[in-house]
Amino acid sequence: MRRTFVQSLALYATVVFTLAMILFPVYWLLVTALSTTDELYRLPPTFWPTDPQWDIFARVWAAKPILLWLWNSMLAAIGSVALSMLVSVSAGYALSRYSMRGGATMGMFVLTAKMLPATLLVIPLFSIFSSFGLIGSLWTLVLAHSTMIIPFATWMLKGYFDTIPKELEQAAMVDGCSPVGAMVRVVLPIATPGLAATALYAFVLSWSDYAYARTFLVNSPDNWTANLGITTMQGEYVTYWNDISAASVFIALPIIAIYLFLERYLVGGLTAGAEK
Amino acid sequence: MANISIRNVSKSYGALNVLRPFSLEIENGEFVVLVGPSGCGKSTMLKILAGLEPASEGQIIIGDREVTDLAPGDRDIAMVFQNYALYPHLTVRQNIGFGLKMRGTDKTEIDRRVDDAARILEVTPYLDRKPKDLSGGQRQRVALGRAIVRQPQAFLMDEPLSNLDAKLRVHMRAEIGALHKRIGVTTVYVTHDQVEAMTMADRVVIMQGGIIQQIAAPDELFNNPANLFVAGFIGSPGMNFLNADLRDGRLTAFGQQLTLPRATSHQGPVVVGLRPEHLTLGEGSVTFGVRPTLVESLGSEKYVYFGAEEARIADGEEGKSKGLIARVSHSGNLPRDQELRLGFDPGQLYLFDAKTGERL
Ligand SMILES: Nc1ncnc2c1ncn2[C@@H]1O[C@H](COP(=O)(O)OP(=O)(O)OP(=O)(O)O)[C@@H](O)[C@H]1O
Ligand SMILES: [Mg+2]
C-alpha cells in the first residue's frame, strides 16, 4: 500500500515528536555537562553552550572514583540479574508447564510482592540484613534487587514460555532428553528473546536503584554504587550541576552498551517454522 | 521392529474418564489406525504409548519389554506430531540428527544416517535450512525423517497430515504408505479422517467417547459394522438410517412391508441402515417413488437427496441434515422436481437395535 503525502507527513511528524520527547533529557544532560556554571544559571537558557567545556569529563573522572562506583554498580547488577534469572526462569517455566494444586493462586501471589512499594520493604530488609551482618556489603543489593525483579520477571517469562508449543519438549523427550534436558536444549534457546528482554529489564532495574543502596551501603564508601556516588556530589551549599551531569553521562554509557549487546537477541519470531 | 501389546489401559483426569479400559495386540510390522471424532481420546492413547502421559491403569509392552513406567526416551519409539514440532532453532540436519545425538551416536554415524533418511524423504537439498524456510510439505517430510532416522521399534503418528492442503494430503498419504512398505516398522497412526483410515490401515480401531467401537480390517468395517456408530462413521456419503418396527421378520419402510431374507428373532423398534450406493435407479427387488429435494452431479454419478417419513436424524443433526441419499450411476440429466423410482435389495439392509445401537 502506498502512503499519500499527508499520511507520510503525519507519520514522520509523529516519529520526530516521539524521538524529541525521548531524547530531550539526554540532550539536556549533555548541555548541562558542557556549560560553565555561570551559563547554567543564565536566563533565558542557552540551547548550546557558547564555550563547551569538553574537559569536564576528564576532570570529573580524575576527581571522583567513578570507575569504582561503576564497578560496584556492575557487580550488583550482574549478581541481581544472575540470581533473579535463575529463580524466575525456573518459576516461570513451572508456572507455564505444570498444573499443580493452587498453582494459579501461587502465581498471583508472586505478583503481590511487586505491589508493595520498595520503601515499605526497606526497613524489614534492613533488619534482616543487619542480623546476618550483611549491611555495607554488595550482597544486600543483589538480594534486595532480586526481590524487586523476580515477581515481574517470572510473569514475563511465564508469558513467553506459554507461547512455545509444549509438543517441542515432548518431541525432545521422545528423542531421548530428560525433562530438564528438553528445557535446556530446546525451550531456552527458543526463548532467547524473552530471556534477553527479561535480563535487560532486571539489569536496568538494579542499575537505576538508589533507595536500597543509600540505606544499606551509605557508610561503606568502597561499595558505593554509581547512583549513590553521584548524589554525594551534591554539596550542602553549592551544587556543581555540570559535574553531576558529566558523571551521569558516564553512568548512562554502560546501559547503552548492554542494550546494544542484547539487541541482537531481542528479535522476535524464533519459534517460526516449528509448526504447520 | 516389534509388536505392541496394550493391556487394559485406561486413563482418567480426576473424575473424567477419557479412555475406558482398552486392550489391543498390534502385530510386528502392522499399520494400525486409530480413528474417531474429535475428543474421543486418540491423542491421549498415543501419548500413553509414547510415555508422555502416564496410564491410569494397565500395561504396555513393546517387543518383549514392559515399558509402562519407562520415560519416552527409553521406549525406543518415534513420534510424529500433528503440528510437526520441529526444533525451530536447529537446521534440518540437526533436527533429524537430534535423537541420535541424544543417544550418544558418534558424529560420522549420525551424518551417514541423516543423509540416508534425507535421501529417502527427498529433503537432501534443504539439510542446511531452518524449518521456517521450508514449505508445509517439506516440514512434514522433515518430521518423518526425524522419526525414521532412529530406526525405532515403532512409529506413533498423530494426525500428521491434517495441516496439509487436500492435494498434498493425498500425496503424502501414499508416501507414508510406501515408506511403511519399505521399512516395515510397526506403526500406530491417529486420524479423524475415515478416508485416511480406510486407505492406509491394515487394521482400524474405531473409537468414540473413549470406548473402542470396533477393531477390524477396512473392508470388514465397511461390510460388517458392529454398531450404528461404526456404520455411520465409515463410508462417504454416510449410511442412510430409518426408524422401523420389526415384527416376525417383517418391517415397514418406504411405505411398504418388507420381508427380510435373513431370519432374526428380534422384535420391536430397530434402526435400518442402507448404504447410498446400494440404492439403484429404477431396479431392485423393492422399488419406491421419491421426489428428490436436491441432485448433486459428480459427472457419471449423481447424489440424489430425498426425504422419507421414517428417516432417522442423528442427535444434534436436526436441521442440517438433508435427509437420505442415493448414490446412483447416471450420466444424463436428472431433473429435481420429477419423481424417480429407486430400488434396493432387502438383503443389503443393516439392522441395529434401536436402544443399544448394536448390529442385529
Ligand atoms: N490434561 C487434560 N486434562 C483434562 N482433560 C483432558 C486433558 N487432556 C485431554 N483431555 C480430554 O480428554 C479427551 C480426549 O482428548 P484427546 O486429545 O485424546 O482427543 P483426540 O481424540 O485426540 O481429539 P482430536 O481429534 O481433537 O485431536 C478430551 O475430551 C479432552 O478434553
Ligand atoms: Mg488429537
What's the complex ipTM? Answer: 0.82
Measured by CA distance, the residue closest to atom 11 of ligand 1 is: B18
Per domain, the residue ranges of chain B are 4-225, 237-353
Query: What is each CA distance from A7 to A14, A15, A18, A77, in whole angstroms?
Result: 11, 12, 17, 44
Please tell me the predicted confidence (pLDDT) of residue B316: 54
Query: What is each CA distance from B334 to B12, B248, B287, B297, in whole angstroms?
Result: 53, 38, 18, 9
Please tell me the predicted confidence (pLDDT) of residue B345: 87
- Find the CB nearest A272 among B79, B84, B132: B132
DSSP per-residue string spanning chain A: -PPPHHHHHHHHHHHHHHHHHHHHHHHHHHHHHHS-HHHHT-SSPPSS-SS--TTHHHHHHHHS-HHHHHHHHHHHHHHHHHHHHHHHHHHHHHHHH---TTHHHHHHHHHHHHHS-HHHHHHHHHHHHHHTT-TTSHHHHHHHHHHHHHHHHHHHHHHHHHTS-THHHHHHHHTT--HHHHIIIIIHHHTHHHHHHHHHHHHHHHHT--HHHHHHHTT-GGG--HHHHHHTTS-SS---HHHHHHHHHHHHHHHHHHHHHHHTT----TTTTS--
Which residue bears the cell 516449528? A274
Best of B76, B80, B84, B103 to mutate (most A CBs within 10 Å, chain A): B84
Residue-wise pLDDT tens digits, B184-221: 899 999 998 888 999 999 999 999 988 999 999 999 99
Q: How far apart are CA B328 and CA B278, in angstroms?
A: 8
Nearest to B24 by CA among B45, B44, B50: B45
Residue contact B84–A275, C-beta within 8 A: yes
Please tell me the predicted confidence (pLDDT) of residue B322: 54
Task: Work out the minimum CA distance from B320 to partner chain A, whole angstroms.
Answer: 31
What's the average model confidence in pLDDT over B70-83? 91
Per domain, the residue ranges of chain A are 5-54, 63-271
Mean pLDDT, chain B, whole residue set: 87
Residue-wise pLDDT tens digits, B147-165: 999 889 999 999 988 888 8
- Find the CB nearest A274 among B50, B79, B86: B86
Measured by CA distance, the residue closest to atom 17 of ligand 1 is: B43
Of the listed ligands, the closest to the CA of B49 is: 1
Mean pLDDT, chain A, whole residue set: 87
- Does pLDDT of A185 surpass 80? yes
Residues contacting ligand 1 via CB (< 6 Å): B 13, 16, 18, 38-44, 192
Q: What is the largest CA-CA distance in chain B?
A: 76
Measured by CA distance, the residue closest to atom 8 of ligand 1 is: B44
- Residues 44-63 on B with a CB inside 8 Å of A are 47, 50-52
Best of B47, B84, B89, B105 to mutate (most A CBs within 10 Å, chain A): B89
Please tell me the predicted confidence (pLDDT) of residue A16: 93
How many CB pairs lie under 8 A apart between chains A and B?
89
Please tell me the predicted confidence (pLDDT) of residue A238: 75
User: Check: CATH 1.10.3720.10 for A63-271?
Assistant: yes
- Provide the pLDDT confidence category of residue A233 given band limits of 50, 70 and 90: confident
Q: Which atom of ligand 1 is nearest to the CA of B53?
A: 1
The predicted model scores a pTM of 0.81
- Provide the pLDDT confidence category of residue B169 given band limits of 50, 70 and 90: confident
Q: Which atom of ligand 1 is nearest to the CA of B40?
A: 21
- Does pLDDT of A276 surpass 60? no
Is B99 touching A (CB cutoff 8 A)? yes
Q: How far apart are CA A242 and CA A231, in angstroms?
A: 13
Provide the CATH topology of domain B237-353: OB fold (Dihydrolipoamide Acetyltransferase, E2P) (2.40.50)
Please tell me the predicted confidence (pLDDT) of residue A203: 93
Which residues, listed in sequence order, are joined to residue B281 by a DSSP beta bridge?
B342
Please tell me the predicted confidence (pLDDT) of residue B294: 85
Is B203 touching A (CB cutoff 8 A)? no
- Provide the pLDDT confidence category of residue A267 given band limits of 50, 70 and 90: low
What's the average model confidence in pLDDT over A146-160? 91
Residue contact B50–A170, C-beta within 8 A: yes
Is B301 touching A (CB cutoff 8 A)? no
- Find the CB nearest A274 among B71, B88, B98: B88
- The CATH code of domain B4-225 reads 3.40.50.300
Q: Which residues of A touch B86 (CB under 8 A)?
A: 273-275
- Does pLDDT of A137 surpass 60? yes
Please tell me the predicted confidence (pLDDT) of residue B321: 53
Residue-wise pLDDT tens digits, B223-266: 999 999 999 888 888 888 888 888 887 888 777 888 887 777 78
Please tell me the predicted confidence (pLDDT) of residue B312: 77
Please tell me the predicted confidence (pLDDT) of residue A113: 74
Q: Which atom of ligand 1 is nearest to the CA of B207?
A: 21
Rounded distance from Cα A122 to ligand 2 centre (Å) = 52
- Provide the pLDDT confidence category of residue A175 given band limits of 50, 70 and 90: very high
Please tell me the predicted confidence (pLDDT) of residue A275: 66
Q: Which atom of ligand 1 is nearest to the CA of B46?
A: 18
- Find the CB nearest A167 among B73, B83, B133: B83
Rounded distance from Cα B208 to ligand 1 centre (Å) = 12
Task: Work out the minimum CA distance from A186 to partner chain B, whole angstroms.
Answer: 7
